[in-house]
Amino acid sequence: MKKLILFCSRCVIFALLIMKTNAQSMQDNIVAPQAKIIAKNLKKHKETRVDNYFWLNDRENPEVIDYLNKENAYYENMTAQTKGLQGSLFEEMKSRIKEDDASVPYFYNGYFYITRFETGQDYPIYARKKGSLSANEEILFNCNEMAKGHAYFKLEGLSVSPDNKFASFGLDLVGRRIYTIQIKNLETGEILADKIENATGASVWANDNHTIFYVKQDEVTLRSDKVFRHKLNSDSKSDILVFNETDDTFNVSISKEKSRKYIVIGSGSTLTTEYRILNSDTPDGEFVVFQPRVRGLEYSFSHYEDSFYILTNKDKATNFKLMKTPENKTEKKNWVDVIPHREDVLLEDIEIFKNYLVVEERSNGLNHIRIMPWNEEPDYYLPFGSETYNAYTTTNIDFDTDILRYSYQSLATPSSVIDFNMKTKTKEILKEQQVLGGKFDKNNYVEERIWATARDGVKVPISMIYRKGLEKNGKNPLLLYAYGSYGITMDAYFSSTRLSLLDRGFVYAIAHIRGGEDLGRQWYEDGKLLKKKNTFTDFIDCSKFVINEKFTSPEHLYAEGGSAGGLLMGVIVNEAPELYNGVIAQVPFVDVITTMLDDSIPLTTGEYDEWGNPNNKKYYDYMLSYSPYDNVKAQKYPNMYISTGLHDSQVQYWEPAKWVAKLRSMKTDNNFLFLDTNMDAGHGGASGRFEALKDLAKEFSFLLDLEKIKS
């Protein structure tokens, strides 16, 4: 009997080897698409770059669409053996999500507002209840009904009039973040004839309940540049232009102060901001400049009683400070310090209440919430114990309250929404994210923060999580994620979908590299413009660190980044391909020079202060030295999964398409190279909550299949 069992086991192993060999043989017979070469000379600064795939920059060209479809077919055929795994991962991740979920209600202007999901539905339902949570529910928008017949759907900028009778909202049905603003009568359910095309989606109401202000985008560059005033039940063609931002490095926004007294036009670039204000009671009046723009001066403000509280970098306050000025004297010569600048503390944001000032700070890479009573009682901080957490204030619309609402989570702790009584110092957990399935226990995981030493001696923090019992033997698969641009901080956050990797032995880590603001404003300054390469070398050095510490090895190390983080992925595979078994690059920004020289592309001119202006040769040379597309070379590359969206307005689809085409023609290995283009979506991918899980299942199956091959 024992011999029979042994024989059968050998049969199974033999059968599996045959299946694996057959699958490999099928893959070997699938021919990768080869984009045709049409050389185009790109001249700048008396130099010539040759771009063989520039022709892909035309989504109206049938040959371009044909090429993208062939790449999609190649990806589908080459990963056919993972379809079952993708389906299992999708169902697994979906099963952890509470499908009939709802947000914690918040109270505003006489109503409790709630966003909820129903079982089996992809999109949210926006609802409210008048006066009490026991009142009848009034559905404002059922996005599941509105999304029918659309491959992509996004409702944005929901804004209710002060008398609660109307709601303005923006719809994007393509995924390019170009919205059409409409208005709904909440009493009758009627969608008014008012229709505003080519807008950002956001709008605010004046106190007359008859006027809204909104922002339109340039039709070519999609730069938000004009603010209009619209009257209810009128043709948008007759709307009044109230502000036109002529500097093409600035973008415009519209908002309303928490005090409801002022409507605010914001105009900002990477390094400079300027605001205009208008009393909400006089919508036909003229906006007044708060403080004229001064290059390098950044500021924002909150209105309280007869003063404005200003968050600013004035007086070389690199980490920002808080200042105050009288309501009728808003120029910077009148500003006085409230919280002075500190070298080791970044001042991130404030919330103003009738009796309290709440300050969000960051020090040593961790965020803190500080409570400061106006009556000069001692201030204090909310206590947080972990080193891999994320805490931030959430929906605090009510001005006259002692309750601060904030959110807390960590790599191992599901997100919670908490009401904190600033007077009694007591808290109530209103909701903790549920992880269904009965298998999740936070105590099964270890979360820690370690510090890697970069090549210039700087210490770079890495947040990581893994299952207990991990052996540091170099055999663990590790996914290292980073972004590292625009001063965006990548805080540690909980993800129920990530459990599908952790429970299969993966370590998940976030590298808090320079270019973000994780360790203060200087951390950002040291990772942009002519210091941008610090972002890339930090990530490579973090990769070497986790290898040297035996968390993983090059055979099991994977890297992931999206958008500007996709640029990071493009650089590391050029500079240190030997460190990674696989790389995921989502909507990657990889054709840096060509994009930044084309001022018709969205975001380009507004980002000269982030990347540099290549019309200046100094920046041209520096950007050219790291631009991933320009630096593809004949060498071995890791296995790569690259995703994009045909309608992406942030990073145009042709960047990853050209990159893949060039990689195919030059790489010297047989590793996987996949381009997966969503022909219906834009920068954010699929719009439905469950459709997005399918995209994630593709990424996870890519990683797990590579690990399976290694084993």
Residues classed as catalytic: 563, 648, 683
The Cα–Cα gap between 251 and 376 comes to 39
DSSP 8-state secondary structure symbol assigned to residue 471: -
Give me 487's structure tokens: 């001063």
Residue with tokens 């413009």: 529
| Beta strands 459-467 and 478-481, pairing class | unpaired
The Cα–Cα gap between 278 and 276 comes to 7
Q: What is the DSSP string of 284-351?
A: TS--EESS---TT--EEEEEETTEEEEEE-GGG-TT-EEEEEETT--SGGG-EEEE--BTTBEEEEEE
DSSP 8-state secondary structure symbol assigned to residue 161: -
Query: Any idea of the CA torsion for 294, 300, 305, 306, to the nearest 10 degrees?
Result: 0
Query: Which of 645, 606, 488 minimizes the C-alpha distance to 224?
Result: 606
The Cα–Cα gap between 120 and 68 comes to 31
The set of residues, in sequence order, having a beta carbon less than 8 Å from that of 29 and lying 6+ positions away, is none
Helix (H/G/I), strand (E/B), else coil: 437: coil
Half-sphere exposure of 130 (CA within 13 A, CB side): 8
The Cα–Cα gap between 690 and 147 comes to 14
The Cα–Cα gap between 69 and 51 comes to 22
Write out 589-645 in H/E/C secondary structure: CCCHHHHHCCCCCCCCHHHHHHHCCCCCHHHHHHHHHHCCHHHCCCCCCCEEEEEEE
Where do runs of H (alpha helix) occur along 474-555? 499-502, 521-525, 533-548
Query: Any idea of the CA torsion for 667, 670, 672, 676, to the nearest 10 degrees?
Result: 50
The set of residues, in sequence order, having a beta carbon less than 8 Å from that of 568 and lying 6+ positions away, is 482, 483, 484, 485, 513, 535, 536, 539, 561
Query: Which of 357, 348, 349, 338 minimizes the C-alpha distance to 399?
Result: 357
CA 167, distance to chain mean position in Å, is 27
